[in-house]
Amino acid sequence: MGLILKYFGDFTDAQLAQFAALEELYKEWNAKINVVSRKDIDSIYLHHVLHSLSIAAIADFAPGTQVIDIGCGGGFPGVPLAIFFPGVKFHLVDSIAKKLKVVDAVCEGAQIKNITTQHTRAEEIKNRKFDYAVSRAVAPLKDLWTWAAPLLKKDHTKTLPNGLICLKGGDLAQEIFESGLRPKMMPISKIFPEEYFEEKYVLHTAK
């Protein structure tokens, strides 16, 4: 929890309580339904919460913004971002129902009100549009863009144009080449100078 406060301030008491609640809730539910690797659960604030919040460091979502988290798993990056941006609406989708059960339980336990969940694949969502799609290490960039693009409203008037924001790691040259896209890349180690974030990046592709 101290790691979050090392890099961010100005949280309300409610936000601080929500962030503080995450560790116990995830440990409790992870024992029943494994959504976080056993070796990672003790480093949840570094490996999952702060990693998710690297998106908040590059994207200042305005109240009323609608964001879809594609393949949210146990709720990352969507859950930490929903705490960070209480006025933003987050829709978390995953094809595995039991993972969403954990997300719903964590939201209830931490009193997070601005998240909805849906058991589906992103490509099956119809008649809904979002300002941004976020995702963490779910699939190659080419696939993520195929799923996200039809769900995104086009708006280049914002400081950060509507689009896909994803968290990736390692050598991404081949993956980006195969996608045919030209995303903007930000090394997370420049945002949070922690050893864990070496060779981890935030990518933004405008709609």
196: CATH? 3.40.50.150
The mean predicted confidence, pLDDT, of the chain is: 96
Average pLDDT over every residue of 185-204:
97
Confidence of residue 155 (pLDDT cuts 50, 70, 90): confident
109 is in an annotated binding site: no
Question: Across the strands, what pairs with 201?
Answer: 168, 187
Domains: count for the chain: 1
Q: In this predicted structure, which of 35-39, 84-88, 132-136, 178-182 has the lowest mean pLDDT?
A: 35-39
Average pLDDT over every residue of 175-200:
97
pLDDT at 64: 97
pLDDT at 38: 82
Average pLDDT over every residue of 159-178:
96
pLDDT at 171: 95
List pLDDT tens digits, range 19-73: 999 999 999 999 999 998 888 899 999 999 999 999 999 999 999 999 999 999 9
Contact 99, 117 (CB under 8 A): no
123 is in an annotated binding site: yes
Domain range enclosing 173: 2-206
128 is in an annotated binding site: no
pLDDT above 90 as % of the chain: 90
List pLDDT tens digits, range 84-111: 999 999 999 999 999 999 999 999 999 9
Confidence of residue 137 (pLDDT cuts 50, 70, 90): confident
136 is in an annotated binding site: yes
pLDDT at 66: 98
What does the DSSP 8-state code read for residue 93?
E
11 is in an annotated binding site: no
The reported pTM is 0.97
Q: Is the pLDDT of residue 138 over 90?
A: no
Q: In this predicted structure, which of 3-12, 37-46, 72-81, 184-193 has the lowest mean pLDDT?
A: 37-46
pLDDT above 70 as % of the chain: 100
